[in-house]
């Protein structure tokens, strides 16, 4: 059970992910979380740096979909100005929204990386669906109250596995 909570890769932020290495793994698309992965959970707009990152992904041929457990208004308000496809109220770690995102991008699960800041939603859900998973450090040190509970459980899992976000490398079994 704990192995399904381990990401394939760790990165300090989305900006530290080696896109060329992803391409060499056959990755053609990215499913990314929104809150505390791309921007702070209480931030409504993409930063110029994030817009450049999204443009670079697009220019390099990657397809991108934001998959968030947040509500329609939050995800739409953020996503529409960026031009990035999105799925809201995703119910992660359920596999359905991950599968839908991959299908909408026209990709097989082996061609998609899931990026997120939470083990219990992003990594666990991505692993359950058979996707390549990347855990990033949260953008903000604060969280919504619901996420704070998950963070406590994540710390226990990480302690149990004797890992930290700087371990890097392939998934630890």
Structural domain boundaries in the chain: 2-160
Predicted TM-score (pTM) of the model is 0.83
Architecture of the structural domain at 2-160: 3-Layer(aba) Sandwich (3.40)
Q: What is the mean pLDDT of the chain?
A: 86
The torsion angles phi and psi of 124, rounded to 5 degrees, stand at -60, -45
Whether pLDDT at 64 is above 90:
yes
Supply 154's token pair: 């994540």
Judge whether 165 and 12 are in contact, CB under 8 Å.
Answer: yes
Confidence of residue 173 (pLDDT cuts 50, 70, 90): very low
Give the separation between CA 85 and CA 75, rounded to whole angstroms.
Answer: 10
Confidence class for position 166, pLDDT limits 50, 70, 90: very low
For residue 108, pLDDT over 90 is answered with yes
- How far is residue 125's CA from residue 75's CA, in Å, rounded to a whole number? 19
Whether 96 has a pLDDT exceeding 90, the answer reads: yes
Taking the mean position of all CA atoms in its chain, how far away is CA 128? 14
């Amino acid at each position: 059970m704990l192995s399904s909570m381990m990401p394939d890769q760790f990165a300090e932020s989305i900006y530290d992910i080696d896109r060329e290495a992803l391409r060499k793994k056959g990755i053609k698309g990215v499913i990314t979380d929104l809150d505390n992965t791309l921007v702070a959970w209480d931030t409504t707009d993409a930063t110029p740096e994030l817009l450049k990152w999204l443009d670079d992904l697009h220019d390099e041929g990657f397809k991108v979909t934001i998959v968030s457990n947040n509500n329609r208004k939050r995800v739409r308000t953020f996503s529409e100005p960026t031009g990035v496809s999105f799925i809201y109220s995703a119910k992660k770690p359920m596999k359905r929204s991950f599968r839908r995102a991959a299908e909408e991008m026209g990709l097989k699960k082996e061609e998609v990386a899931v990026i997120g800041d939470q083990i219990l939603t992003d990594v666990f859900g991505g692993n359950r669906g058979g996707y390549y998973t990347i855990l990033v450090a949260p953008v903000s040190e604060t969280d919504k109250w619901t996420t704070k509970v998950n963070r406590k459980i994540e710390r226990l899992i990480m302690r149990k596995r004797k890992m930290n976000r700087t371990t890097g490398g392939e998934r630890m079994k």
